[in-house]
Chain A
């Protein structure tokens, strides 16, 4: 601490607050991230209007063409327009990111509330969650998809399963620390019924950390979907997704790197933006959380 106050805190040896926003000079980071994400969302919503070509129309005569006036970024191995596929690919990433976030919280929040409140249930539920967390998430998702087929819904469920324990643990820890607060004890003493106690007195404590955790889940889901598609265990290849495009582009990588480059760039920007927004939300909503997650 002293070293940093020597260098930039001026004459007074006042210890600077330990957890000032770490990207202090990069305050613009969340703003830029928000703008990027907004662009991607708009791109996904208005894909049919923006995309110059049909993303799944194959033109065998136009295979692997370099960028031209007709095909701004060129075409892939099936003669499909790369730009149009990139634009449509945003849809899958966003749907999966948001969908997994919503399902994981919808399942994890009630389980976490109950687990934090009932000791016996807690013991059982936490063992189950420990078990689920021990399975590497990509492997778990691969197993689910390989068994249930590769529809958008199964991919989302497959990605959600490993995320649920993280939500449950987070909610549980918040409930455990809140249930000894005097206001909760007062509510219990007043005879508040359990559903009201959980929903009105305990649940609101979880909102801030859940918003933060939710953005991280969203980013991780987008990443996992891309990994699944890349490995050939994602949604069917007829739907353009950034992961699918990279997977198909692998064969022609040395011939035409842009087939992998562009979806990779968009994927990275998208995940990065969501992560940065999560960091900003964390700094804003819960400075203590920052300490625990170690950033």
Chain B
């Protein structure tokens, strides 16, 4: 187990290396002068020079990469071109809303999706099954912002149950927070629910065909117990895996949802950075989210043997 853990951690390093290299080369390999692209059409030569120096673009590319990796290793993600604030500070300011939204969405999605998937598998081939599957296809197909505006229209504008937009930090009290986080969380959950429900259903169907399920039924174990104790437990690994890989989808969804609901989180930070061509911020956020993605999937991998004692390394 220890050897496996070490091997998996070591395997994560080249992945992050590729991410870093890609992000680094993206700016340098873009045709044209990156400083001019970032500065826009109205830049003076002095401004261009300032951008070049601040990004280190005046040095040879290998030197640039080495310096940059050195800074990264010290936790320095660079400085925003617009606000001149360190990117890590900017991220720190915006992390709260995004983190709370993402966590709530994850919990909400699992609470909705797993029972949905179980129900579909249990009632396999019936109308309920088709209905759940249809909902899943919808979740994959309807863009997050369409769902967001639909929820705003119905629950905020017509029913007036929730405020239209905005955000209140969880430190300002649970009431205002849940008032403002409910619609965004449901919006963001739509695609995640589809993903998890589909996987739950498929893996449960797989397990329900196993011999030990037939044995359990044959010795008269109640259907409910068969379903939850014998079958569902054995689906933990694929479900957890899809939760891990689905994290990338969640990030994309966060960016959109925060724009729809005007939430001052990381998603808004990146959208503002794109509009202002603030490349260090974009770069920092890509590195951060990719890092979290790799970390989550590392933890998922390592948890396999905890969830399923049959898996040994």
Q: Which residues of A contact B (CB under 8 A)?
A: 1-4, 7-8, 15-16, 18-20, 22-26, 127-128, 130-140, 142-149, 219, 223, 226-227, 230-233, 246, 250, 253-254, 257, 260-261, 264-265, 267-268, 271-272, 275-276, 279, 291, 293-295
Contact = CB atoms under 8 A, between A and B. Distances in A.
A1 B208 contact: yes
A205 to B, nearest CB: 23
Given A22-B130, A271-B142, A143 B282 contact: yes
Per DSSP, are chain A's interface residues mostly helix, strand or loop, or mixed?
helix
Interface in B89-139: 122-127, 129-130, 133-134, 136-138
A158 B154 CA distance: 34
B51 interface: no
Interface stretch (B64-72, B77-85, B285-293): B285-293
Interface in B116-171: 122-127, 129-130, 133-134, 136-138, 140-146, 149-150, 152-153, 157, 164
A254 B290 contact: no
A189 B285 CA distance: 51
Nearest to A16: B125
A272 B122 CA distance: 26
Given A20-B125, A267-B146, A272 B138 contact: yes
A118 B7 CA distance: 23
Interface stretch (B18-26, B53-61, B175-183): B18-26
B251 interface: yes
Contact of B282 (A2, A142, A219, A250): A142
Interface of B: 14-19, 21-23, 26-27, 30-31, 34, 37, 122-127, 129-130, 133-134, 136-138, 140-146, 149-150, 152-153, 157, 164, 198-199, 201-203, 205-206, 208-209, 213-214, 217, 223, 238, 242, 248-249, 251-252, 255-256, 259-260, 270-271, 273-275, 277, 279, 282-283, 285-286, 289-290, 293-294
B141 A272 contact: yes
B285 to A, nearest CB: 7
B125 A272 contact: no
A130 B245 CA distance: 12
Given A8-B126, A143-B286, A132 B22 contact: yes
B37 to A, nearest CB: 6
A275 B27 CA distance: 34
A143 B23 contact: yes
A132 B274 contact: no
A22 B209 contact: no
A2 B19 contact: no
Nearest to A230: B145
Contacts of B136: 295
A131 B149 contact: no
A128 B134 contact: no
B262 to A, nearest CB: 10
Contacts of B124: 1, 3-4
A137 B201 contact: no
A144 to B, nearest CB: 7
Contact of B248 (A24, A130, A137, A231): A137
Given A139-B285, A147-B279, 12 more contacts: A4-B126, A132-B18, A134-B16, A134-B290, A135-B22, A136-B293, A139-B282, A142-B270, A142-B282, A143-B26, A143-B282, A232-B274
B198 to A, nearest CB: 5
A24 B130 contact: yes
A148 to B, nearest CB: 6
A246 B148 CA distance: 12
Contact of B256 (A20, A132, A230, A260): A230
B141 A275 contact: yes
A93 to B, nearest CB: 11
Contacts of A133: 248
Contacts of B140: 219, 271, 275
Contacts of A130: 14-15, 18
A230 B141 contact: no
